[in-house]
Chain A
Amino acid sequence: MEDLGKTVIIITHKLQEVLAISHRVSVMRQGKMVGTLETKEANEGILAEMMVGREVLFEQLDKKETFKEEVLLVEGLRARDNRGLVALNGVSFNLRRGEVLGIAGVEGNGQSELVEVLTGLRKTEEGRILINGVDASNKSPKEIRNLGIAHVPEDRLSTGLSIEATIWENLIMGIQHKEPYAIRGIHMNEKKIKDRANRLIDEFDIRTPSSNLPAGKLSGGNMQKMVIAREFSFNTPILIVAQPTRGVDVGAIEFIHSQIIKKRNDGVAILLVSAELDEIFRLSDRIITFYEGEITGEFLKDQISKQEIGIYMTGKHMKKKGVL
């Protein structure tokens, strides 16, 4: 297009995209133009700072070595997608405490179905899931939550929250029948529930004037922080986190990443599914590649580069090996 002498305007929050293809870049924040500069003069740090209005540190996250004990074992999982096609074809892996296991793959290769099966939202046809040695295959979401899995879903609007419900109503989901939030399991203790909500709002930096606001009034980043606050607050031994920073601004990304690593350092086992390779590489200790419902490779983070991993995500490694 450019060669044809046309003008191209690209609007995105992905910094690398801008840096890769643009000539000039303008940054907008809260409906105002913050500034324009030549792309040559820009880098991720400068742009992020302009976008957020303060310095954003994409610093190295501090990862601690922890005791690695297996808490989740998945064996030969098979499941179908909504159209009845095979979405998972014999998937096996394990997950240990204190590690982030990243699942890399082009979207639509079975990662979503894997998360749904693990959290009880989809049935599996074959294979089994062991949580701390207890069989959790085809259990209900409630039973799986009780076995110790919390889940940040890939689509917050459809699965992770109710836009009509207030923030405190969204934050209590999952423990609404438990003491002290439900007195004798019946009467909702609004004071306790709201106190907890306000605590989470502070702790997870959810920008809102009140927990009585409908969640739909929050920005995408704050909605996501609300979902993460709820799921992380359950203190489960296992966390399944899908697309944690999709559609979220740079400041919130930084915050969410640091929260995930904090959980990891506390000895929580984290399964991270993301379409963003940068995110996978930044957070993971181990990486599994997914292609057409199968695992095509497993690597320690330092064993593989972003370029190489692309080959496994597109199934080309088989060609290379002469399988296809």
Chain B
Amino acid sequence: MDKRHSNERIEYIISLVFSIVVSLLIGALIMIANGRSPLVGYGALLKGAFGSKYNIATTFAKTVPLILTGLATAVSFSSGIFNIGGEGQLYLGAFAAAYVGITFISLPKGIGIILAIIAGALVGGIYAYIPALLKVKYEIDEVITTIMLNSVAVLFTSYLVNYPFATTEGKMGGTEIIAEGYHLSKMVRLSTLNTSIFFMGIIAIIIYYLMEKTSAGYDFKMVGRNSLFARYGGIDDKKQMILAMVLSGALCGIAGVFEVLGVHHRFLQNISPGYAWDGMLAALIVKNNPIGVIIMSIFLGALKTGSVSMENATSIPSELVLVIQSIIILFIAGEAGFKEKFKVWNTRRKAKQKAGEKNA
């Protein structure tokens, strides 16, 4: 009964897998063109991502910020408001966590961590509230404002940690180490994987449940699909957009919190190498599907981790992974077009066959 609909989802998954395979093949061609063996290259990549306990841990450590910012993107994009300011919200959330961690040093372990998470979520959420309000009240494009607010947040936190909150341990552009009670325990020796992955898991389940199973999630998605229809149906579309943006900002803030509590134990001025952008990438590739975000984040995390080992082992530059990622994006962007072309070609072929039968 549900054939045609589920077909569409399957069609998308097939085109996605197809895109990934073709991009990997193109990556292989590039390796061959440079006189390297793709088998050795991809072997090293795979080994680097999943080859040992340490490598697997590193891969999954990378997925924590990716999944959180990816879900943040999914929440806002599917509600029809576009939060491109994840990076800035992440920085501010991370700084808020560090601030809590160096200020309230005598809190019991669990409470301190929860306080830091709440602080990061709050700061990230409030920072996202500003462009959301501008969008809803004055129709100022949130894509522009959130992009610009990224730089504001990055530069502002950079000022904070170089002047008022600079560590006394030398010039590194960071805060003091947060109190012991805030440290999330590491799970595998030498790797950065820490218990934040469990917190992230809980948050991911909540977001999935919210977006896919509740009437509140229905409201978000209907506003994203057709805001006039949502308003006509009794949903306050403006309120819903603001909520989505704030929730998205809070998730990015939490991603920053975990970088501080779990990885660096202090705020650093370059704390994120663009996690929010990679998270957004993951969400875009899977069309904002929460489960897809998780799978895609693991894939991207593995590519990133593996590429470093590949470079070390085979001297194939790790930038190759960027090429592969970009090609996947290109394919996904053209997905609808490709599919249409294929369908037309297929119908023509069938029509020709039929015509042939008639003539014969």
Contact = CB atoms under 8 A, between A and B. Distances in A.
Interface of A: 119, 121, 140-142, 145, 151, 153, 158-166, 169, 172-174, 176-177, 181-182, 185-188, 209-210, 212-214, 217
Given A169-B218, A209-B4, A214-B5, A142 B236 contact: yes
- For B215, B217, B226, which residue has the most chain A Cβ atoms within 10 angstroms? B215
A161 B229 contact: yes
Interface in B206-238: 213-219, 221-222, 225-226, 228-236
Contacts of A212: 1-2, 5-6
A142 B235 contact: yes
- For A145, A162, A186, which residue has the most chain B Cβ atoms within 10 angstroms? A162
B137 interface: no
B328 to A, nearest CB: 23
For chain B, the bracket of interface size reads 20 to 34
10 contacts: A121-B231, A151-B232, A161-B226, A164-B226, A173-B229, A173-B233, A186-B215, A188-B215, A188-B218, A209-B4
Contacts of B1: 209-210, 212
B215 A185 contact: yes
Given A162-B222, A165-B222, A166-B5, A182 B215 contact: yes
A142 B213 CA distance: 22
A210 B5 contact: yes
Contacts of A140: 234, 236
A217 B4 contact: yes
B189 interface: no
A141 B230 CA distance: 10
Interface of B: 1-6, 8, 213-219, 221-222, 225-226, 228-236
A193 to B, nearest CB: 10
Given A165-B225, A209-B1, A209-B4, A186 B236 contact: no
Nearest to A172: B218
Contacts, number: 83
Nearest to A156: B229
Contacts of B3: 209-210
Given A186-B215, A188-B213, A159 B229 contact: yes
Contact of A121 (B2, B218, B225, B232): B232
Nearest to A214: B5
Contacts of B232: 119, 121, 141, 151, 153, 159-160
A233 to B, nearest CB: 13
B261 to A, nearest CB: 30
B229 A186 contact: no
Majority secondary structure of chain B interface residues (helix, strand, loop or mixed): helix
Nearest to A158: B228
Contacts of B236: 140, 142
Given A158-B226, A169-B222, A188-B215, 7 more contacts: A159-B228, A159-B232, A161-B229, A173-B229, A210-B2, A212-B2, A213-B4
Nearest to B226: A162
B5 A187 contact: no
Nearest to B210: A186
A165 B215 CA distance: 14
Contacts of B213: 187-188
Given A165-B222, A166-B5, A209-B1, A145 B234 contact: yes
Contact of A176 (B6, B8, B218, B231): B218
A59 B233 CA distance: 34
Nearest to B217: A188
Nearest to A173: B233
A174 B234 contact: yes
A201 B276 CA distance: 43
A185 B234 CA distance: 15
Contacts of B221: 165
A134 B151 CA distance: 51
B247 to A, nearest CB: 16
B225 A162 contact: yes
A313 to B, nearest CB: 27
Contacts of A209: 1, 3-4
Nearest to B231: A141
B229 A160 contact: yes
A210 B4 contact: yes
A163 B228 CA distance: 13
Nearest to A153: B232
Contacts of B229: 158-162, 173
A153 to B, nearest CB: 6
A145 B235 CA distance: 11
B182 to A, nearest CB: 33
Contacts of A186: 214-216
Contacts of B225: 162, 164-165
Contacts of A145: 234
Contacts of B5: 166, 210, 212-214
A169 B225 CA distance: 11
Contacts of A151: 232
Contacts of A153: 232
B213 to A, nearest CB: 6
A177 B4 contact: no
Nearest to A151: B232
Contacts of A177: 215
Nearest to A144: B234
